[in-house]
Amino acid sequence: MSVKETTTPIEEALKGRDFLTLLDLTPGEIQGLLDQALEMKQEWKKGKAGRPLTGKTLGMIFDKPSTRTRLSFESGMAQLGGHPLHLKGGDLQLGRGESLPDTARIFSGYVDAVLIRTFNQETVEELARHASIPVINGLTDLHHPCQALADLLTLKENRSHLAGLTLAYTGDGNNMLHSLLEAAASTGIHLRAATPQGYEPDPAIIQRAQKVAAQTGADLYFTSDAEDAVTGADAVYTDVWASMGQEEEKEQRKQDFADFQVNAALMSLAKPDALFMHCLPAYRGLEVTDEVIEGPQSVVFPQAENRLHAQKALLADLIG
């Protein structure tokens, strides 16, 4: 889609809706967003980007620290002509006991959409129930859909297609894996997930993803053997072993995840041109070695930049 002050079928489909998980979008809507993001990125690189969100405001609530989410959404809104408002949860009246439904109604009267990065998925869902504006999930302990959208964009940019690709994930069955399962299921990607026993992804999320995968031809495969998952893969993905709020488990997790590190030996089992991906921040020497993250197969920094472009497409369609 060209960044002009016109509406498209994708914009009409998404306008005013929430984005709480990848499954809030149909497979066709995801493909449309990715095509739009690629075009917006190309126009931005040429200095020809439009400003379809002039006069629009995004309220952003952060209960968790953030680098990529905050930078990409603030920059994206500004580049599209809109205005971002960064708000820490503790700075709002929420921190003094105002109810979430009341806060949702107040936001609905002031801004055009709200992004929230918090702990519980239930908080995001309750905010969405009571808000009359689009609510965007910037990350919860259960889902990270904005990152997964950028990951799909990165794969499409490097491989030109998604259906039939094999993506190997090794590490924790966390929010990142949950969103990757939904992303793969929606686009026909074959996802092989290797997690230690006791760290598997949420069964309910697996079940929902498998229903979508049955329609798109995606294969979702689960194992406790990292080598099994990575062998012959088109891309290898990992995430931190201990996420925010799990710091007390860090030492135990180091032991439990020792065989799931992405190093040169593990990468050698993937296809020779396989991509290495990581949502960042990375703890080098734990889930990935310096040799891999700084190596020629690594796309982690273009992947991080694609947060900006994927989210600009999302913002333009939700509130444009």
From CA 208, how far away is CA 20, in angstroms rounded? 14
For 137-151, the DSSP string reads EEE-SS--HHHHHHH
Catalytic (active site) residue 79: no
Alpha carbon distance 55, 279 (integer Å): 31
Catalytic residue among 18, 79, 112, 117: 117
Binding site: which residues? 66-69, 93, 117, 144-147, 175, 239, 243-244, 279-280, 307
239 closest CA partner among 215, 217, 261, 209: 261
Asked if 239 is an active-site residue, the reply is yes
143, 253, 278, 307: the catalytic one is 307
Q: Which one of the listed residues 31, 79, 147, 297 is annotated catalytic?
A: 147
Residue 117 annotated among the catalytic residues of the structure: yes
Asked whether 208 and 231 are in contact (CB, 8 A), the reply is no
Catalytic one of 253, 279, 303, 317: 279
Q: Is 17 a catalytic residue?
A: no
Torsion angle, alpha carbons of 236, 24, 205, 212, to 10:
-80
* Whether the Cβ atoms of residue 33 and residue 10 lie closer than 8 Å to each other: yes
Binding residues for carbamoyl phosphate: 66-69, 93, 117, 144-147, 279-280, 307
Q: Let me know if 278 is a catalytic residue.
A: no
Q: Is 307 a known active-site residue?
A: yes
Q: Which residues are annotated as a binding site for L-ornithine?
A: 175, 239, 243-244
* Distance separating alpha carbons of residues 24 and 29, to the nearest angstrom: 10
* Eight-class DSSP state of 83: E
Which residues carry out catalysis? Answer: 117, 144, 147, 239, 279, 307
